[in-house]
Amino acid sequence: MSVATVGAELIPGVRWRWADKALWVLDKPAGVSVLADRIGAPSLHDALKAWQDGEADRPRPRIVHRIDKDTSGLLLVALSAEMERTLGAAFEARSIGKWYVAQASAPLPGDPLEGAERHRITLPLKPGRKGRMRVAGPREAIRRRAQDGVWVHEVPPAVAQPEGQSALTVARHLGKQRYLVRLHTGRTHQIRVHFAWLGAPLKGDPRYGRPEDASQRAPRLGLHCHALLLPKIEDGLSRPRRFTSPLPEGFPEGVPAV
């Protein structure tokens, strides 16, 4: 199965980056929900169901991970139960590499170290109010320290709340408050919460920032899933392991290879 076989779009703006008989790599724009939302807007789940219902012999697409409605970029869709299990286990084992480009409204705290500003954020997360996530510890307890040329941002174990889930975000500053972010865990809203709690909410983020402020005002959320790296999958099919999505309009160009 090729991209030409399945078509150019599922719903406006959603495109295939790869298609074979077991796996799709899709690229969605900001504003499209992965699952159905409360306002009844078109969702990727509904579009996949409609595609399957279009012909009797089509496989059932299975969404194996999600990105926020207002985040753009790459998604993996399995076309078999076996691939769904394989990818699910890979996400659980954290063996799928995930890189995002984030446009922040302020710099993350810390001066450049050895000419390259890098950050390792280990703030644990837990559910907060009204569907938000929050750091499992007091904001004033967050500490930062320099270690091996990296700024480490952490909540000391003595004050971290026991219900918090571990979360690891690694960010490299690209200039102009833009960051290449490696997501090592996949907690809900992880990048958005980590940046906001460090005083650098993402541009255009109404949930964790104040988008009416001039520094945060933007036509969309400043978060894009830019690259995915798959583990080696032994299914007899030949496919690339690394996939990238071009930066959407409004994001400064010049992201280094990942």
Q: What is the pLDDT of residue 9?
A: 64
Q: In this model, does residue 16 exceed pLDDT 70?
A: yes
Residues with active-site annotation: 68
- Read off the pLDDT of residues 69-108 as tens digits, 9 standing for 90 and up: 999 999 999 999 999 999 999 999 999 999 999 999 999 9
Q: For the chain, how many structural domains are there in total?
A: 2
Q: What is the pLDDT of residue 202?
A: 97
Residues 15 and 40 in one domain: yes
Residues 65 and 119 in one domain: no
Residues 164 and 86 in one domain: no
Percent share of the chain, pLDDT over 90: 66
Q: What is the pLDDT of residue 113?
A: 61
Residues 74 and 151 in one domain: no
Contact 226, 258 (CB under 8 A): yes
- DSSP string computed for 173-203: EEETTEEEEEESS--TTHHHHHHHHTT-PBT
Model confidence band, residue 143 (pLDDT cutoffs 50, 70, 90): very high
Q: Within a domain: residue 252?
A: no
Residue 104 CA, distance from chain mean position: 15
- HSE of 75, CA atoms in CB hemisphere, 13 A: 28
Q: Within a domain: residue 143?
A: yes
Q: Which residues contact 137 (CB under 8 A, 6 or more apart)?
A: 123, 124, 155, 159, 160, 161, 164
Q: What's the mean pLDDT in 183-199?
A: 96
- HSE of 26, CA atoms in CB hemisphere, 13 A: 31
Residues 85 and 100 in one domain: no
Q: What's the mean pLDDT in 169-188?
A: 94
Q: How far apart are CA 139 and CA 120, in angstroms?
A: 17
- Read off the pLDDT of residues 194-228 as tens digits, 9 standing for 90 and up: 999 999 999 999 999 887 888 899 999 999 999 99
Q: What is the pLDDT of residue 201?
A: 97
> Of 9-13, 187-191, 205-209, 240-244, which range is least confident?
9-13
Residues 23 and 83 in one domain: yes
Which single residue is written with the structure tokens 């320290």? 145
Choosing from 47, 74, 93, the residue where a domain stops is: 93
Q: Within a domain: residue 152?
A: yes
* Closest by Cα among 221, 222, 205 to 213: 205
Q: What is the pLDDT of residue 3?
A: 57
Residues 113 and 211 in one domain: yes
Residues 100 and 89 in one domain: no
Q: What is the pLDDT of residue 100?
A: 97
Q: Within a domain: residue 20?
A: yes
Q: In this model, does residue 7 exceed pLDDT 60?
A: no
Residues 131 and 204 in one domain: yes
Residues 186 and 160 in one domain: yes
Q: Within a domain: residue 256?
A: no
Residues 156 and 222 in one domain: yes
Residues 108 and 202 in one domain: yes
Q: In this model, does residue 1 exceed pLDDT 70?
A: no
Q: What is the pLDDT of residue 61?
A: 93
- Read off the pLDDT of residues 105-120 as tens digits, 9 standing for 90 and up: 999 998 666 556 899 9
- Read off the pLDDT of residues 36-45 as tens digits, 9 standing for 90 and up: 777 777 789 9
Give the domain range for residue 166.
Answer: 96-239
